[in-house]
Amino acid sequence: IIPQRLLGKTVVITAGPTVEAIDPVRYLSNHSSGKMGFALARACVEAGAEVILIAGGKVALPTPLGVTRIDVLSAQEMLIVAQQCVAGTHNVLQFKEEAHDHNHHHEHDHGDCGCNDDNHDDHAKVSTEDGSLVADIFISTAAVADYRTEEAAPQKIKKTQDIMTLNLIKNPDILATISHAHPELFVVGFAAETQDVEHYARGKLVAKDLDMIACNDVSRADIGFASDNNAMQVFFAEYYQQDMVTLDKASKDDIAKQLTAIIGETLLQ
Ligand code: C5P
Asked whether residue 247 is marked as a ligand-binding residue, the answer is no
Rounded CA gap, 211 and 251, in Å? Answer: 24
- Quote the ligand 1 centre to 143 CA distance (angstroms): 7
Other C-beta atoms lying within 10 Å of the C-beta of residue 87:
17
- Residue 14's pLDDT is 98
Q: Tens digits of per-residue pLDDT, 194-225?
A: 889 999 999 999 999 999 999 987 777 776 56
Nearest alpha carbon to residue 132 among 86, 79, 99: 86
Residue 167 annotated in active site: no
The phi and psi torsions of 228 (rounded to 5 degrees) equal -85, -10
Q: Which of 80, 110, 83, 73 is nearest to 95 (CA)?
A: 110
Q: What is the largest CA-CA distance in the chain?
A: 62
Domain regions of the chain by residue span: 10-144, 189-267
Residues of the chain with pLDDT under 50: 93-95, 97, 102-132
State the distance from the centre of ligand 1 to the C-alpha of 239, rounded, in angstroms. 22
Closest ligand 1 atom to the C-alpha of 213? 10
What is the distance in angstroms between the CA of the first residue and the CA of the last residue of the chain?
23
Q: Is 82 in the pocket of ligand 1 (CB under 6 A)?
A: no
pLDDT at 226: 61
CA distance 230 to 251: 6
Distance (angstroms) between ligand 1 centre and the Cα of 119 equals 34
- Per-residue confidence (pLDDT) for residue 119, from 0 to 100: 37
pLDDT value, residue 1? 64
Closest-CA residue, ligand 1 atom 1, reads 204
Instruction: Look up the pTM and report it.
Output: 0.85
Overall CATH class of domain 189-267:
alpha beta
Mean pLDDT over all residues of the chain? 85
State whether the beta carbon of 144 lies less than 6 angstroms from ligand 1. yes
